[in-house]
Every structure is written in structure tokens, then in C-alpha cells.
């Protein structure tokens, strides 16, 4: 901003304001009301540079121009009655020129008086005529702007609330899933323990019965071999062996499901925090899709091996997401 110390710098300042008037977002009424005043300030400041005015008159013009620029700054920032008052002030400070023109000074020609006085009066009269309309329009516009701003803020608040609710619902659903898998892991681990215990008891019973059969029913002397008894004892031991195998298989199946459920539970706890760190929304959605598919698929059956593929959910998802992202880029 130029130093406001003389009419030339002040005229330049008013000229800059005139050029920016439309760019600053003033409405048509705003421009129509204040533009003639700004133009008149530029004209009169340029006139004062070459009118051979005494220093006292120049000082009065400079001070009034500064005050007018300050009033115009208030005009740009205000609405309603405050805007109308600022507009009147911008025009009122032009009275300094009317006082000089009416001073009957011999260094001011009659031609200058007849030329500039009607222009100043016309500019201030137009501003006064438009003041009421200006106040009404800007007050209503400010109300609309406030309503739009409040609506925008309400929309943002609703969006944030929706996001928070969605986040809370996701976390609640995740917590329920975690509890479900935790209960599944606990119940299956308990069942695996009891089937393992039954397997051990059955195997112990086979050993005891086998030893007893071998000792108590050993052939003595020339007695005939009791084939019926042998077949019977073998059938009993075979049945117990089949039962032990069944118990062992059930223990293995329940243990596998328990390990799988426990692994899902752990990775559910870590997955949301892991995915939130990913900035790529497409990759994030891909991870959600693959993880949901892995989590909601059927538990491992008896043919599944008990290696890391039972519990390692995130690593295959990362590999699949990388392949999918690689094919789409």
C-alpha cells in the first residue's frame, strides 16, 4: 500500500480500490452506490495536485482522504445500516472540496467551481438515494449467507456424526465378532481337551485289557486253543481301538477350529488399526473385502492341515491385495 501522505499517493490508493471493487465480491447495488464516490475522490485528488492550493488546504484534503479510505474499508466489511453509514461517510468527506471551492479564493477559477461542484453533489446524491436499498439488500444477503453457512456447518456436523456413528457401529460389530470367535475358540478348546482325555483313557484301557487277556488267558498244557475267546477278545480290543481313533480325530478337529477361531479373534483386534494407516482408499476397500471373505468363510474341516494356513488371515489378504492392485495399475 502506498504511503498516504500526499494527494498523488491517495489518488493511486483510490484507483486501486476502484479496480478491485468488482473482484472483491461486492453486489451490483454495492458497486452502483459507491463507485461514483470513489471516482469523484480520484478526480478531486488529481485536481488538487495542480490547483496550487495552500498547504493548509492540502493537509485538510489528505486527512479527509485518509478518513474516507478508512470509511470505505468499513463499507466493504459491513452490512445493513452499518454499511449505509459507511457509504454516507465516504461521500461526506468530499465536503472538504466543497468548502475549498466555496471559499471565494482567487486561485480557484470559476470554471473549476462550475465543473466539480455538480459532480460531487451528484455522486453524494446517488449514494444517498441508494442507501436504503443498499441496507436492505445487504442485510438480507447477509442473512442468506449466514443461513447457508449454518446449513453448511450443519451438513458437516451431520456428516461427522454419521462417520462417528458408522465408526462406532463398525467397532461394535467388530467387538461382537471378537466375542463370538473368542467363545468359539474357548468352547472348541474345551471339547478338544475332553476328547483328548477320552482318547488317552481309551488307549490306557486297551493296554490294560490287552495285558490282562494275554496273562489270564494264556494257553496251558495240552488244552485246546479257545478260538472263540480269542476272536471275542480281539473284537473288544479292535472296538476300543476304533473308539480311541474316533476320540483322537474329534480332539484334533476341535483343536483345529479352536486355533482358527483364536487366530481370527487376534487379527480382528489388529485389523482395523492396520487398515486405518493405509491412505489409498481403493486398497483399503480391497483389504476390507478380502478380510471379510476370509473371516466369514467356513471354519477348517478335518482335511485341513494344522499349519499356519489355519490362522494366518492377514498375510494372504496382503498378497491378494497386492496382486489386485498390480493388475489395476
Q: Which three cell numbers stand for residue 134?
A: 443498499
Whole-number Å distance between alpha carbons of 262 and 254 = 12
Q: For residues 301 and 313, what is the distance between their CA atoms, to the nearest angstrom?
A: 16
Under 8 Å CB-to-CB from 81, ≥6 apart: which residues?
Answer: 135, 139
CA distances from 55 to 127, 150, 233, 304 (A): 30, 53, 136, 103
Residues 6+ apart with CB under 8 A from 173: none
pTM of the predicted structure, to 2 decimals: 0.45
Question: Would you list the domain boundaries of the chain?
Answer: 7-153, 154-322
Burial class (CB in 10 A: 0-12, 13-18, 19+), 15: middle
pLDDT tens string, the chain, 329 residues long: the values are 445 568 889 989 998 888 887 665 555 777 788 888 999 999 999 988 888 888 888 899 999 999 999 998 888 888 788 888 888 898 899 988 888 887 756 667 777 778 888 888 888 888 888 778 777 776 666 555 555 666 677 667 667 766 666 666 566 666 777 777 788 888 888 888 998 899 898 888 888 887 777 676 655 555 555 666 677 777 887 888 888 888 888 888 888 888 888 877 777 776 767 677 677 777 777 777 777 776 666 666 644 444 444 445 555 555 555 555 555 44
Q: Residue 72's closest CA among 51, 91, 55, 54?
A: 91
Amino acid at each position: 500500500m502506498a504511503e498516504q501522505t500526499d494527494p498523488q499517493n491517495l489518488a493511486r490508493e483510490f484507483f486501486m480500490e476502484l479496480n478491485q471493487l468488482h473482484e472483491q465480491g461486492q453486489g451490483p447495488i454495492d458497486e452502483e452506490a459507491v463507485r461514483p464516490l470513489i471516482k469523484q475522490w480520484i478526480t478531486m485528488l488529481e485536481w488538487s495536485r495542480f490547483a496550487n492550493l495552500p498547504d493548509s488546504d492540502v493537509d485538510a484534503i489528505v486527512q479527509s482522504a485518509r478518513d474516507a479510505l478508512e470509511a470505505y474499508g468499513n463499507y466493504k466489511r459491513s452490512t445493513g445500516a452499518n454499511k449505509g453509514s459507511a457509504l454516507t461517510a465516504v461521500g461526506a468527506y468530499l465536503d472538504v472540496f466543497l468548502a475549498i471551492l466555496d471559499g471565494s479564493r482567487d486561485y480557484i477559477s470559476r470554471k473549476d467551481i462550475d465543473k466539480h461542484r455538480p459532480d460531487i453533489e451528484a455522486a453524494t446524491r446517488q449514494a444517498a438515494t441508494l442507501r436504503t436499498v443498499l441496507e436492505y439488500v445487504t442485510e438480507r444477503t447477509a442473512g442468506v449467507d449466514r443461513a447457508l453457512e449454518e446449513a453448511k456447518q450443519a451438513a458437516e456436523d451431520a456428516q461427522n456424526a454419521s462417520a462417528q456413528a458408522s465408526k462406532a457401529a463398525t467397532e461394535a460389530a467388530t467387538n461382537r465378532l471378537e466375542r463370538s470367535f473368542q467363545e468359539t475358540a474357548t468352547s472348541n478348546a474345551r471339547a478338544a481337551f475332553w476328547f483328548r482325555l477320552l482318547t488317552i483313557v481309551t488307549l490306557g484301557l486297551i493296554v490294560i485289557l490287552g495285558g490282562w487277556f494275554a496273562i489270564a488267558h494264556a494257553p496251558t498244557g495240552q488244552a485246546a486253543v479257545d478260538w472263540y475267546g480269542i476272536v471275542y477278545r480281539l473284537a473288544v480290543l479292535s472296538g476300543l481301538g476304533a473308539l480311541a481313533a474316533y476320540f483322537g480325530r474329534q480332539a484334533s478337529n476341535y483343536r483345529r477350529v479352536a486355533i482358527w477361531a483364536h487366530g481370527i479373534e487376534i487379527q480382528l483386534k489388529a485389523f482395523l488399526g492396520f487398515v486405518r494407516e493405509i491412505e489409498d482408499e481403493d486398497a483399503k476397500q480391497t483389504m476390507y473385502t478380502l478380510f471379510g471373505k476370509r473371516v466369514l468363510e467356513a471354519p477348517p474341516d478335518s482335511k485341513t492341515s494344522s499349519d499356519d494356513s489355519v490362522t494366518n488371515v492377514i498375510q494372504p489378504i496382503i498378497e491378494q491385495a497386492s496382486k489386485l492392485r498390480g493388475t489395476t495399475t
